[in-house]
Structure 1
Amino acid sequence: MTRVNPSHTNRAVRRPLAGLAAAVALCFAAPAMAVEPFTADYQASYMGMQANGKMTLESAGQDRWRYSLNIKNSLADLSQSTVFEVRDGQWRPLSSTDSSQVLVKKQDKNATYNWSSGVASWTGDVKPDRAGPIKLKTGDMDALLINLAIVRDVEAGKPLRYRMVDDGRVKQLSYSVAGQESITVGGKSHQATKVVSTDGDKQTIAWIVDGMPVPARILQREEGKDAMDLRVQAVR
């Protein structure tokens, strides 16, 4: 049985998609893509551990949507969720939750994006210097919402540049198209657009299949080694 260092594992999975946001994400000037509910089943792998993952998008009423990611196995239970609204053709985060339990260590964080006052703030298990407030700008998104954005922008042929406001900090993200590759989803081969983002010793790679609402695969690498790999098994 593979031995897992609990502290190393917790650092690796605490924000399973934050690196992705720093490497995969939507252009704010792009025309609005129709938002429709879906459920995507993923096969997940991180730090040598296998898990099941699920992404869902469901209506939260009044042009609001809830986008969620869950990854779970016998050692870890990770959950992220963002409520966002469609406003003037843009997707604006309103609130988000981020919880993780790795072995006996548990963390919970909550974010509020107050567009009336123009600031974002965080509560829960956050460091004082990560609580905010951070001033919001038009087009800002959190890490999770960027997953939907990159699909929209790749299909629209827009520049993949984003401003991420997440986990008490701001990051400028930039992605580049690295060609076309074949990828298998549910036993069927599809052509996918491969996009790559590099941030220091961290790299995020995503494969976008035309007509699929989420990346067919998301690979995060750290110091040249695979840290997390999400592969779609089915979308419904």
Structure 2
Amino acid sequence: MTDRTALRLLPLLLAAAGIASAATPAMKPYSADYDASYMGMHGTGHMTLSQQGGGRWVYSLRIGSSLAQLSQSTVFDVAGGALRPLSGTDSSVLLVKRVTKQASYDWKAGQASWSGDVKPDRAGPIALQAGDVDAMLLNLALPRDVAAGQPLHYRMVDDGRAKTVNCTASGKESLDVGGKPLQATKVSCELGADKQILLWVVDGMPFPARILQRKDGKDDIDLRLGKAA
């Protein structure tokens, strides 16, 4: 979507992802289908994690409704146990308006830059720091960090900006997943004065079971897990 912070979905979902790899299971290819609500429109969402080769992974999200199509993907690797973005694509089509952005994370040069439909002041470059993630990787980092008992504080480099994202776990809630009630840890992430992402994390699931983005105090995007494989 046009604002990758939305789900990354935000684009939910997520940072200085200091992940203790010994305390978390190895990544495996995974896919999940979601019921989606975007700006009051009902649709479907599909999230996948796949291996690309050479130690690289692709994490992608697609959301579709009768009026809008949103697509986000991040290519990343794992360096020192941390999820490290390498490139990203963000595309949205709303009625007849299409917006596409590309992100490049050059770790040798130590900087990130953006191209496509971006404003000049959002093209970068932005200096990278060890542990930086983009908004999509936040969705992968949080379930791992919650399971490992890691601090939920992140530095997110996304959409031409770097910002600190502080997340807080607020206990367990019962969540319906594919017709089954499951216990999920509710996590709240503040993305600024007017943006908030809420995620529900279920033990053993690499993706959040629910991602809710709120903007200006109102629900903006809501993804609820239907089934996963």
Same fold (TM over 0.5): yes
Gaps of 5+ in 2: none
**TM-score in terms of structure 1 length:** 0.90
Residue equivalent to 1:3: none
Count residues with an aligned counterpart: 223
1:63-109 Cα deviation digits (max 9, x unpaired)? 10000000011211110010001122121111000111100000111
1:76-115 equivalent positions in 2, closer than 5 A: 76-115=68-107
Residue equivalent to 1:7: none
SS in 2 for 1:117: coil
Residue equivalent to 2:203: 210
SS in 1 for 2:141: helix
Is 2:18 aligned against 1:29?
yes
**TM-score in terms of structure 2 length:** 0.93
* Contact 2:16 2:130 (8 Å CA) reproduced: no
* Contact 1:220 1:226 (8 Å CA) reproduced: yes
Of 59, 64, 68, which residue of structure 2 is paired with 1:72?
64
Residue equivalent to 1:133: 125
Distance 1:235 1:26, change over 3 A: farther
Runs of 4+ in 1 over 4 A off after TM superposition: 20-24
Give the aligned CA root-mean-square deviation in angstroms.
1.5
1:20: Cα distance to partner? 4.3
Gaps of 5+ in 1: 1-12
1:47-62 equivalent positions in 2, closer than 5 A: 47-62=39-54
Aligned partners of 2:71 and 2:186: how far apart in 1? 26
Residue equivalent to 1:220: 213
* Contact 1:27 1:153 (8 Å CA) reproduced: no
Is 2:2 aligned against 1:14?
yes
SS in 1 for 2:27: coil
